Amino acid sequence: MTRIATAILIVLCAVQIYAGDRDETRPVQRTPHLRPVADPERGERGLRLLVVDDDPSLRILLRTTFEVVDIEVEEADSADFARERIAARVPDVVVLDVSMPGTDGLTFCRQLKADPATKHIGVVLLTGSEGGTETAAQRCGADAFLRKPFSPLELLNLVERIAGGLYEGPFRSAAGPPEEQLILYAQDLRRLLEVERGQRAIIQRAYRETVTALAGALETKDIGTGAHSQRVQRYAMELATGLDPDLLEDESVEYGFLLHDIGKIGIPDNILQKRGELSPSERRLLQNHTVLGEQLLSGVALLQGQGLEVVRHHHERWDGTGYPDGLVETEIPLGARVFAVADALDAMTSDRPYRDARSWEEAEAEILRERGHQFDPRVVDVFQQRKQRLRRIHYELASA
């Protein structure tokens, strides 16, 4: 985001310089936003791109980059698969990796350019090799060449230029009055922000899916099911919404709800799955999971905030008899106070190795009894107000 912010400042400064230099008596001529003339064969469809690379992570990155600016993207992991894609739907541009199993990119590019049916397709070659490849790319007829690692935005620029103006890409050279250039710069920056936002969204989605899978795997080790994390997270978010919606503005809180018991990864299975009562030494060892969890996640950027506090303090009690620090009342972070009720609700209404699930009514009565003792009274009040919504979540996830 720093580079984008810098670019925005440059444009703003350029606007100010231009405004200061121009003749104030002459009206500014604003150039209308012109769209490229549509190719009759293409109709009104957008630019179509085929990414051919055996690296799935690179394909995901490029798909994210191009789709957020409305470029249609198809993928292939080999030249053979790419031929099938091209036969089915001819792309405007092919982004082609040089080093692939089977037919390599240089050979495939040469074949495309030698075939009258495909020679018009633009080709951008990508390579991680050093030296010699650029000359080989020219000889096989490639339209452009990029060496890895490369900027996806640089590739976006190349694709737009190769498409011959068929697509209004984010980077265009402009010949005309300065104000037209500035308008184009502003449009480019908007596209940059869209690409940045799209890439960040896909990374966050992948991170969330990974965290959810990790939490589910841990619960299978602990209580024999991976459904606990989904229920307790939904309960906690419902309670937080009713108590203080601003709490959920901290993205770390959601991850803290999911990974609250991550420290149990260091607790022996014979303690986690014990059916009888724990001995004092076993209980002390189990209670260490809160501190261990905080230590495990302390270096994770998305957990910095109340999320990490939830992991450490979700077993604190309002009356000060909880662990690990014996915090009292509002000394306990708000996220941990909210989560304590959600966690207790799910623990009581779920089967555990040491006991069967209790009824919803029994769990509700227990939470009300512990108002002002184990639980923050305000959170319990919200629980009462939203108990029907919480119960709906319980049955919804049970049926799923």
For residue 216, is it within any domain?
A: no
pTM: 0.51
| 351-375 per-position pLDDT tens digit | 776 678 889 999 999 999 999 999 9
Beta strands in 148-279 (DSSP E): none
For residue 206, is it within any domain?
A: no
Question: Do 278 and 180 fall within a single domain?
Answer: no
Question: Do 158 and 22 fall within a single domain?
Answer: yes
Residue of higher predicted confidence among 262 and 321 = 321
| 151-160 per-position pLDDT tens digit | 777 787 788 7
Mean pLDDT of 106-114: 92
Question: Do 167 and 290 fall within a single domain?
Answer: no
Contacting residues for 285 by C-beta, under 8 A, at least 6 apart: 267, 268, 271
Question: Do 309 and 241 fall within a single domain?
Answer: yes
Mean pLDDT of 242-253: 90
Mean pLDDT of 118-140: 82
Contacting residues for 195 by C-beta, under 8 A, at least 6 apart: 64, 65, 68, 69, 152, 153, 156, 170
* Domain residue limits at 77: 2-32+43-196
80: domain CATH number is 3.40.50.2300
For residue 37, is it within any domain?
A: no
For residue 220, is it within any domain?
A: no
Work out how many domains the chain is built from and give that number.
2
Q: How confident is the model at residue 219 (pLDDT cuts 50, 70, 90)?
A: low
Question: Do 190 and 254 fall within a single domain?
Answer: no
What's the confidence (pLDDT) of residue 70? 75
Q: Which of 155, 177, 196 is the last residue of a domain?
A: 196
For residue 85, is it within any domain?
A: yes
Residue of higher predicted confidence among 219 and 57 = 57
333: domain CATH number is 1.10.3210.10
- For the chain, the average pLDDT equals 77
Q: Which of 173, 196, 219 is the last residue of a domain?
A: 196
Question: Do 180 and 254 fall within a single domain?
Answer: no
Question: Do 116 and 249 fall within a single domain?
Answer: no
Contacting residues for 130 by C-beta, under 8 A, at least 6 apart: 147
| 4-42 per-position pLDDT tens digit | 333 333 333 333 333 333 333 332 222 222 233 334 444
For residue 158, is it within any domain?
A: yes
pLDDT exceeds cutoff 50 at 1: no
Question: Do 354 and 250 fall within a single domain?
Answer: yes
What's the confidence (pLDDT) of residue 305? 84
DSSP string, 40-72: TTTTT---EEEEE-S-HHHHHHHHHHHHTTT-E
Question: Do 304 and 393 fall within a single domain?
Answer: yes
pLDDT exceeds cutoff 80 at 337: yes
Question: Do 172 and 239 fall within a single domain?
Answer: no
Question: Do 254 and 129 fall within a single domain?
Answer: no
Region of poorest pLDDT, from 45-59, 88-102, 180-194: 180-194
Contacting residues for 270 by C-beta, under 8 A, at least 6 apart: none
For residue 282, is it within any domain?
A: yes
What's the confidence (pLDDT) of residue 113? 92
Residue of higher predicted confidence among 192 and 315 = 315
For residue 72, is it within any domain?
A: yes
Looking at residue 116, the DSSP 8-state letter turns out to be: T
Question: Do 20 and 81 fall within a single domain?
Answer: yes
